[in-house]
Amino acid sequence: MNTAHIKKYAPIARNAFIESVTKRAQELGIYSETKISEAEVQGDTLIIEGRSLALAVKAPRERLIKRVQSVGFNAFMEQIAYTWFNRLCAIRYMELHDYLNHGLRVLSPSPSQGEGWGEGGFPEILEHAQAAADELGLDREQVIALKLAGNQGEALYRLLLLGQCHALHQAMPFLFEAIDDETELLLPDKLTRTDSILRGLVDDIPAQDWEQVEVIGWLYQFYISEKKDQVIGKVVKSEDIPAATQLFTPNWIVKYMLQNSLGRHWLTHYPESPLKNDMEYYVDSAAQNPVGWVSDSVTQHIEAENVGLRDKAANPTYTLSDIYAAWQTQNHATILEMQRLEQENNCLFIDAYGLQDELTPEVPLEQITLTVNPKYRYGGKLSDADLNNRFQSDTLAELISYAIGCMMGRYSLDKAGLVYAHSGNVDFDTIYHQNVGWVSDSVTQQIESSHVGLRDEAANPSYLNTFAPDADGILPLTDQEWFKDDVTQRLRDFIRVAFADPAHPDSDHLQANLDFIAQSLCLYALKPKSGEASLDTIRRYLCTQFYKDHLKTYKKRPIYWLFSSGKNKAFECLVYLHRYNESTLARMRTEYVTPLLGKYTAHAEQLQKQSDDASSTAEASRYKKALTALGACPRTNI
């Protein structure tokens, strides 16, 4: 990547953005922490220094003043300037890569006019404001009114730009911070003029320089370069620490560090791993101590535990509990190693910039940002035991979620990554079989007829153990075993297949694995029930807690939809949104709801007979209680 254009543009942009947001603050009568003009309310208007503003500005202006007084005027202006710079850079990257749902350029004219603003150009989104309004969730009537006014281009563009930022926050909260109304007051103005602050971002950095996402890191690096030069060699104030210590690390350096740290650790334990072929920056040296890169404490810990993810064929007694323990040992080693690397990097930066009196290299474990690190993942003040219990419970719940994905055909044990995410179940069998490497029409027909996944025997001698997706993508969620293909039974089959050892077919650890899953769920996700069988515990999780966890994971935008018969939940099932089609509801009724009603009737008759024939009052009462519970849910309205 050629960074010359970025190096020239970014420092100028920093000064321009700071100047622009400062001017906006001054227009609101805010000049410093102490110099703040009075605001007078006259009807539905706010008067500041003789200027009339909408009354709606009053409340956010007051919050803005509090933030200025809290952190200081200059520091706050710099913070907001970078906030808007960062948001606009991200939007520029996304519009060039066609990542925005509406497909329109937000900061630049249509590409049909050539890259850059040119003479008299306007952002493409302005030309298609009505279409963008629907996508961004804006008031269409307001957009049309501004468009037809003829002289409200600036107001219309600010509305669209803020709408785009709001939409991106909803879709990617990890990237776009929430925009609150007081910071919106400081969005730079005159955005549609030829001297707009946006013009440099579009014209001064050629489109080809935006091809790699590293451009965002380089923009930040050069954005703070002038301030870095100002503070280096001096006593660093707390607000200046980022400028003094943060450097953008190019992609190749990240790869080099990762491949020669964690990558070397992996290859030490799995020397035949094919990952080595993809590690372009790995330095292979036979003379190197194979574990010399890792601290003695970590090495001793691994050797003492003497566990790892071994070949199951070499260890026929390998259970899910063993796998989890080995994985946790590796996680612990990885976390400690990452902590060591970060502390060594901190030492290098502190020494390079003479910051020994201001900073220390230590990095607490809760700041090691790995999702396998419970201290980072959950935070708070939980004990180590509570953290480990929650992590184990969540991990096994995630395994269940993955298993359901395999049942739905979203994932497969035969291929990493996404397998099917089309719409309407279109060509599901063909696409699924092609993606996971299943072969030929004859095999496909056999799969469909037998509902067992098959693969070429020569390529996979254990093909009979392949876990096949559900035929209709409808997975019943029931508190009893009313269907042989309900979620609980299919999960049992998944665990049997996924953790089977083809080399030792007699070593069946299915019950031990189910026990481990049930025990893990009861560490956090569920309250344990005395005497409850493991499969019943798993069924209870699936019926009562799984969908809540799924909604939380996907931020209330589930990929598996829950269908319920109503208040009494006589019948519930999961359907994969990408396999839902015009026949799904009809099949749900004919294959599940109607048969279930018949089963309810038969079971009720059996309970009534058992109650009549009961040898004791207590026994009869138990049957009547079950009959009453069953009577509460025989009707469905799917």
**For residue range 145-183, what is the model confidence (pLDDT) as tens digits?**
999 998 899 999 999 999 999 988 877 776 676 776 788
CA 317 distance to own-chain centroid = 35
Q: How confident is the model at residue 445 (pLDDT cuts 50, 70, 90)?
A: very low
Q: Would you state the pLDDT for residue 461?
A: 35
Q: Would you state the pLDDT for residue 256?
A: 72
Q: How confident is the model at residue 298 (pLDDT cuts 50, 70, 90)?
A: very low
> 549 and 412 in one domain?
yes
In contact, 188 and 17? CB cutoff 8 Å: yes
Q: Would you state the pLDDT for residue 117?
A: 55
Q: Would you state the pLDDT for residue 638?
A: 45
> Can you tell me the mean pLDDT for 499-522?
82
The C-alpha atoms of residue 64 and residue 67 are separated, in whole angstroms, by 5
Q: Which of 366, 386, 406 is the last residue of a domain?
A: 386
Q: With H, G, I as helix, E, B as strand and everything else as coil, classify residue 34.
A: coil
Q: Residue 519 is encoded by which pair of tokens?
A: 């025990």
Give per-residue burial for 485-498: e unless 16+ CB within 10 Å, then b.
bbbbbbbbbbbbbb
* Model confidence pLDDT, tens digit, residues 534-577: 999 999 999 999 999 999 988 888 999 998 876 666 678 899 99
Please state, in angstroms and as integers, the Cα–Cα distance from residue 308 to each residue in 276, 311, 329, 458, 520, following that order.
19, 9, 7, 30, 20
Q: Rg of the Cα trace of the chain? A: 31
Lowest mean pLDDT among 263-272, 362-371, 379-388: 263-272
Instruction: Domain count for the chain, please give it.
Output: 4
247: left (phi over 0), alpha (psi -120 to 50) or beta: beta
> Can you tell me the mean pLDDT for 360-386?
89
The secondary element (H helix, E strand) that includes residue 385 is: helix 384-408
> 588 and 571 in one domain?
no
The sheet with strand 51-54 has its strands ordered as: 39-42, 45-48, 51-54
The C-alpha atoms of residue 169 and residue 176 are separated, in whole angstroms, by 5
Lowest mean pLDDT among 160-169, 306-315, 377-386, 619-628: 306-315
Q: Which of 352, 386, 420 is the last residue of a domain?
A: 386
3-class SS letters over 546-575: HHHHHHHHCCCCCCEEEEECCCCCCCEEEE
> 294 and 218 in one domain?
no
Lowest mean pLDDT among 32-36, 138-142, 221-225, 263-267: 263-267
The C-alpha atoms of residue 612 and residue 31 are separated, in whole angstroms, by 87
Judge whether residue 637 has pLDDT over 60: no
Give per-residue burial for 522-548: e unless 16+ CB within 10 Å, then b.
bbbbbeeeeeeebbbbbbbbbbeebbe
The C-alpha atoms of residue 250 and residue 327 are separated, in whole angstroms, by 30
> Can you tell me the mean pLDDT for 456-484?
68
> 591 and 506 in one domain?
no
Block residue for tokens 């930040």: 220
> 468 and 362 in one domain?
no
Q: How confident is the model at residue 443 (pLDDT cuts 50, 70, 90)?
A: very low
> 212 and 94 in one domain?
yes
Residues of the chain with pLDDT > 90, as a percent, come to 39
Q: Would you state the pLDDT for residue 122?
A: 83
> 493 and 414 in one domain?
yes
User: Domain span at residue 536?
Assistant: 387-581
> 194 and 125 in one domain?
yes
The C-alpha atoms of residue 512 and residue 517 are separated, in whole angstroms, by 9
Q: In this structure, are strands 474-477 and 572-576 parallel, antiparallel, or unpaired?
A: antiparallel
Between 432 and 631, name the one with better pLDDT. Answer: 432
Lowest mean pLDDT among 58-62, 94-98, 311-315, 415-419: 311-315
> 541 and 605 in one domain?
no
> Can you tell me the mean pLDDT for 418-432?
87
What pairs with residue 575 in β-bridges? 474, 561
Q: Would you state the pLDDT for residue 389?
A: 95
Q: Would you state the pLDDT for residue 636?
A: 44
In contact, 135 and 101? CB cutoff 8 Å: yes
> Can you tell me the mean pLDDT for 205-230?
86
> Can you tell me the mean pLDDT for 293-321?
43
Q: With H, G, I as helix, E, B as strand and everything else as coil, classify residue 55.
A: helix
For helices 140-149 and 129-136, angle between their N-to-C axes, nearest 10 degrees: 160
> 447 and 379 in one domain?
no
Q: Which of 220, 245, 270 is the last residue of a domain?
A: 245
Q: With H, G, I as helix, E, B as strand and everything else as coil, classify residue 42.
A: strand
Judge whether residue 241 has pLDDT over 60: no
Q: How confident is the model at residue 248 (pLDDT cuts 50, 70, 90)?
A: low
Between 540 and 472, name the one with better pLDDT. Answer: 540
What is the biggest distance separating any 2 CA atoms in the chain, rounded to whole angstroms?
95
Residues of the chain with pLDDT > 70, as a percent, come to 77
Residues 6+ apart with CB under 8 A from 14: 81, 82, 85, 223, 224, 226, 227
Judge whether residue 62 has pLDDT over 80: yes
pTM of the model: 0.54
* Model confidence pLDDT, tens digit, residues 8-53: 999 999 999 999 999 999 999 999 999 999 999 999 999 999 999 9
The C-alpha atoms of residue 413 and residue 557 are separated, in whole angstroms, by 25
Averaged pLDDT of the chain: 80
> 435 and 306 in one domain?
no
Q: How confident is the model at residue 507 (pLDDT cuts 50, 70, 90)?
A: low
> Can you tell me the mean pLDDT for 584-596?
83
> 470 and 366 in one domain?
no
Exposure of 589 in the CB half-sphere (CA atoms within 13 A): 8
Question: How many residues are listed for the chain in this entry?
Answer: 638
* Model confidence pLDDT, tens digit, residues 106-130: 999 888 766 655 555 789 999 899 9
The C-alpha atoms of residue 373 and residue 365 are separated, in whole angstroms, by 8
For helices 546-553 and 384-408, angle between their N-to-C axes, nearest 10 degrees: 90
Judge whether residue 316 has pLDDT over 70: no
The C-alpha atoms of residue 450 and residue 485 are separated, in whole angstroms, by 14
Please state, in angstroms and as integers, the Cα–Cα distance from residue 283 to each residue in 233, 292, 348, following that order.
35, 14, 22
